[in-house]
């Protein structure tokens, strides 16, 4: 019997990981999955894991500080790690060890997700660059606020962000159900603004 390459979602959808289609993508599945996937392999301070959903909300907020407002690209920022709802969040050293296949799987899922929510299959390079910058700012905040890094150590790995990009941003861990609801609500707000 061939190995199963699909995942049954709580929505009832059956997502083929090798050939994902936009019709099998539901925001509720993404929000639920991301709310239960811990960043930093769970090695964060607090009573709740710091989830990929919470991280994605933070990246979208930082992205909005870096760029002129555009709901389409803010949505792309919110969804930047959406494939992790089925493939999990691998820390960078593990991604490097796994190699190209992880990246290909992530890319296929990203395309299906982006098309499902009205984004282009390929987000423009300039936008991807700004999302990556927001992602690094988020990583610095996470590292210094909840992952035990000193400012100096975080500066070395992620670069010190400009003060205006992090001013007033504090990470507060929440139960997965709250994060899931916040992620779904933000997605709805951005879709309505398109």
- Structural domains for the chain: 23-193 (1.10.3210.10)
Mean pLDDT of the chain: 94
How much is the pLDDT for 103?
A: 83
Residue 68, Cβ neighbours under 10 Å: how many? Answer: 6
Would you call 150 helix, strand, or coil by DSSP?
Answer: coil
Q: 154 near 12, Cβ under 8 Å?
A: no
- Mean pLDDT, rounded, for 62-76: 97
Look up residue 37 and give its DSSP letter: P
How much is the pLDDT for 1?
A: 65
- CA–CA dist 89, 93 (Å, integer): 12
- CA–CA dist 35, 175 (Å, integer): 9
* Confidence band of 18 (pLDDT split at 50, 70, 90): confident
* Confidence band of 98 (pLDDT split at 50, 70, 90): confident
Tokens representing 7 are 């995942």
Q: Which of 168, 194, 145, 134 is nearest to 45 (CA)?
A: 145
- CA–CA dist 152, 134 (Å, integer): 19
Q: Which of 48, 119, 44, 51 is nearest to 85 (CA)?
A: 51
* Confidence band of 92 (pLDDT split at 50, 70, 90): confident
Instruction: Judge whether residue 40 has pLDDT over 70.
Output: yes
Q: Which of 32, 108, 37, 115 is nearest to 75 (CA)?
A: 115
- Mean pLDDT, rounded, for 94-120: 88
- Mean pLDDT, rounded, for 99-123: 92
Q: 80 near 56, Cβ under 8 Å?
A: yes
- Mean pLDDT, rounded, for 49-57: 98
How much is the pLDDT for 91?
A: 72
- CA–CA dist 123, 110 (Å, integer): 10
* Confidence band of 90 (pLDDT split at 50, 70, 90): confident
pTM flag (> 0.75): yes
Q: 81 near 34, Cβ under 8 Å?
A: yes
> What percentage of the chain reaches a pLDDT higher than 90?
86
């Amino acid at each position: 019997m061939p190995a199963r390459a699909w995942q049954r979602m709580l929505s009832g959808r059956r997502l083929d990981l090798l050939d994902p289609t936009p019709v099998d993508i539901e925001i509720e599945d993404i929000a639920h999955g991301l709310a239960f996937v811990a960043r930093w392999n769970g090695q964060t301070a607090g009573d709740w894991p710091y989830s990929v959903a919470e991280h994605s909300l933070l990246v979208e907020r930082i992205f909005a500080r870096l760029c002129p407002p555009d709901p389409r690209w803010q949505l792309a920022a919110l969804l930047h790690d959406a494939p992790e709802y089925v493939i999990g969040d691998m820390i960078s050293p593990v991604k490097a060890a796994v190699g190209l296949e992880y990246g290909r799987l992530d890319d296929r899922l990203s395309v299906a997700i982006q098309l499902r929510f009205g984004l282009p299959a390929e987000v423009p390079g300039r936008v991807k660059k700004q999302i990556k910058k927001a992602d690094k700012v988020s990583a610095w905040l996470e590292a210094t606020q909840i992952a035990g890094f000193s400012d100096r150590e975080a500066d070395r790995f992620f670069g010190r962000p400009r003060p205006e990009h992090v001013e007033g941003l504090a990470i507060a861990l929440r139960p997965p159900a709250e994060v899931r609801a916040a992620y779904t609500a933000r997605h709805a707000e951005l879709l309505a603004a398109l």
